[in-house]
Structure 1
Amino acid sequence: MALWRIRATVDDRPGYLSVLTASLALRGVNILTVQVHTTEVGAVDDFLVDAPDSLDEAGLVAAVARGRGRDCWVARSEARGLADQPTRVLGLATGLVRDPEATGPALATLLAADEVVWRCAPAAGGIDGTTLTLPDPTGGSYEVRRAAPTFTPAEYARAQALTELAATVARRAVDQVTLVLPDGAELTVRPAGADDLPGVLELHRRCSARTRHRRYLGGAASPAPARLRRLLEPTQGLTLVATAAEPGAAAEPTVVAMANLLAEGDEAEAALLVRDDWQRRGLGTALLRRLVGHAERGGLAAVLLHVQAENAPMLRTLARLARPSAAERDGGLVTVTLPLATSAATTSVAAESPQVVG
């Protein structure tokens, strides 16, 4: 027996796929996997089959034709083809999370391509037979080529999802910075994601009731996990986490602070949560400066902070920004407004070298 890949188009009508599979079965062909790609000209069926050694390429093409298949392409396959498509795609995605620069090789593997070329000029995405053009979300475009078979819209969608994942990982890496506090402590500050939820839950657990109350203004209990998930990935705005390697902790750095910028309209509300043992060390000021800078680059008009009147440390943090501001007091709550000098710039601050916080 031998492994083959077969791709053929059949009319997208009830029963037509069964006619094709019956024709293969009559010749002793065992279908191991099948994928169906819907196109404008019919359903493109992609099979991985185990065929008798006596059946060659011409015999398989003839079997497909007798089963009402057309535009047939047949090629020998290797044992690695036995891995199902979701498993292969998840493996490629895992590799891109580790190294987003490997997008080209990942596309070649995903699409069984002969060549993947990245061009600096942007291009409209599309399919032209055995050439697939794909915009790169970080700039430029990819041109993917193979001898056969022709590309399908389903393959284009998979490739697009893979490049978007790589671009997201790359953007997060660019936005990551190393902070050196005045006491010499080093932390990593980066955009938060859903996978930070366990660390943020532990951050809240290790904060005092007073610190949590100052952050959320209404009670000292930790927010529900569902609310924290929304804070980690706001619809508009940005959430940063600060992590540090602590003695005796697990291999993964510990989340010691979280900074939220929640935008609505042309304004955004900022808030900080810094673990008690990391307070009064310059971390809050550094995080707030990054939030304000992000809001400015995003073209927002102002950043607002709601602070308890007795929260002197936070009010001192705002003063250290040395920016024009307006404060309004309503009972025990002070609302501070920081007007922004908006800029058309949209490029994130790269941080390839440590930033020293004074």
Structure 2
Amino acid sequence: MPLWRIRVKVEDRPGRLAGLTRVLAAAKENILGITAQIDSAGVIDEFLVTGPRDPGPLMDALRQAPSAETIAAVPASPAELVDEPTRVLLLASRLKASPQALPEVLRDLLRAEDAAWVDGAASADDLEQDGGGELLVRVGGARHIRLRRPAMPFTLTEAARADAMVRAVLPSAATPSRVHRLRLADGAGLTVRELDAADLSELQRLHDRCSPESRRSRYGGAVDALTPRMFEGFCDPGRGISLVARPEGASEAAAVGHLLYTDRPGTAELALLVRDDWQGRGLGTHLARLLLHIARDHGLAEIHTVTDAGNGPMLTLARRLGAQLTPLPGHATEARFSTTRDHHTARPQPN
């Protein structure tokens, strides 16, 4: 019986996946595999199913499901029924034995039609999937691999997978430092490190020195003080990653930034709080850029934040870092950052 790999873009709401599976069940199609991926426009549900020789009627039925939008279907082979983690581990083993086979491994990883080396620099926009079935994967400073798959455009999740596979074969870097240094345009230097349990009082003072407007922009509502329970969540590595920035030679924090894990696989929420006397100097942008680099190292495909539509500084930061902005109900705006793009400046250097 023919096998088909079918992708459906759906609204990220409870019950949408169940609606698609009901359509497939009504068509008496057997679901052999299912994954959820992140894309710049939302969530992509992918199904590996047994199906008819002509998938047209099935695709028409799926289009009638609530919130189902773009749908693509390509023929699959029995070889694709292999356990996916096992397949990736075998590709990684093959790459370790033959690093020169990187283009072919990336092609097989993402089931692309072809892969080829591309020399020369590429713009940040070129590093994103272009919606036409091409993906440019950075390999070092001036080389890339171009993957083509016209029938099924690449997702942000797949871009992150390709990036992780590339970094598996690049020369090993030193153990990442938990302390980083930032240098602002005005010459001010700051050290940045992960938040720990000893920072509670200092972070409470940071909140006290921020205006109500700054705290409202950070939390989306009135928050008078940082409670121990909130702080405990910031320090929990199971909930996310938090960084505190201190001016060189000072003991009081100037800013704090967070990556807060969400219930969507491969994503996290970005949040920043910058002391009022440090605002307008580029600290928020530098801290956000560092958090995006860390997100990439942790295998996250997309970072997002929701802010008031009138929060000019945050929207400016988002545009500067190449985020996609989407208006939301209630005078809000969502900014979505891809971790696989070049965020315009060199990576912050660790101590």
TM-score by length of 1: 0.45
Larger Rg, first or second structure (1 or 2): 1
Q: Which has the higher contact order (CA 8 A, sep 6+)?
A: 2
